[in-house]
Amino acid sequence: MAVKSVIEAIREGLQEEMRRDSKVFVLGEDVGLRGGVFLATQGLMDEFGEARVIDTPLAEASIMGVALGAAFRGMRPIPEVQFSDFIWPAINQLVGEAARTCYGTNGAVQVPMVIRVPYGGGIRGGLFHSQNVEVFFFHTPGLKVIAPATPYDAKGLLKSAIRDNSPVVFLEHKKTYRLVRGEVPDEEYTLPIGIADVKRTGQNITIVTYGLMLHYCLEAAQQVEQEGIDVEVVDLRTLSPLDTDTILNSVKKTGKLLIVHEDNLTGGVGAEVAALAADQAFEYLDGPVRRLCGPDVPTMPFAQTLEDAYMPNTEKIAQALRQQAAY
């Protein structure tokens, strides 16, 4: 075991998979010589050369189109979208084409590509470098959507995503890149896609969350433990397919559910989790299902005070837990 940051774990996962399979290559803006704006691909061009670490123009539609065509021909491309905010020109390639190809060809054409997408706020990125885009892909059958929160999960799920024959949107919260560190095995390992992880066991309330919010939820759970509130924290890790069994088992045990995510409240991942609990665990519930999410504003504000108001944080989550416990 070695302690690594999220960005180090991602870089290591890319490197291992490129060594393992010559069909794996990366492409995107500044991924080569510069090693990516966050240095996720640092050193890969030195080892694998320009043919497998491709610096592209600033053209997301073209990046995704080239990756899609390569996947059709049996390659395993990993296109990077430099910031989630820049993904919109590539939507047709992803939602209109990649997500529908396997279904439309009755399985004859696979689309083994992993779209790496740095996303999320809390970094003073403002309107165009902080967006949460997960729900657009969560809503789209045919795409797998992964949002890890720890180095261990990031590396293991990235390696599985690269080996998968479906298009995978791999969301990496920018604030976790160097903030979050944890143990990563030295030996080879992968993690199964579609399996949530109970990061903290508890008896009174279930929190369902993902990404950066996991760490705030764990802090809040520890805080309210001193007040006699025992919280179970479920890290989704994979948004699509959703691990309904883990969610339901936890809710049936605790009887109360709080869903926390940074994305907008309306129509988000939390709405689907809430509907799941209401539909399949209603008789176990001992209170209303609650959501603590970003407000319904178009995007993340730049001013520190406004960004703080937008973002869920440890104290907001702790207060929501107290309200749930008191119901």
Choose among 301, 290, 280: nearest CA to 260: 290
Q: What are the start-end ranges of the H helices in 99-212?
A: 99-104, 134-138, 151-163, 176-179
Cα 253 from Cα 48, distance rounded (Å): 50
Give backbone dihedrals phi and psi of 95, rounded to 5 degrees, phi first.
-80, -40
Strand order in the sheet with 53-55: 53-55, 24-28, 76-80, 114-119, 168-173, 144-146, 238-240
Calpha distance 14→16 (Å, rounded): 6
Of the candidates 129, 173, 215, 261, the residue annotated as catalytic is: 129
Which residue type sits at 232?
E
Residue 129 is a catalytic residue: yes
Query: In 10 A of CB 300, how many CB atoms?
Result: 25
Is the peptide bond between 241 and the residue preceding it cis, with omega within 30 degrees of 0? yes
Return the active site residues.
129
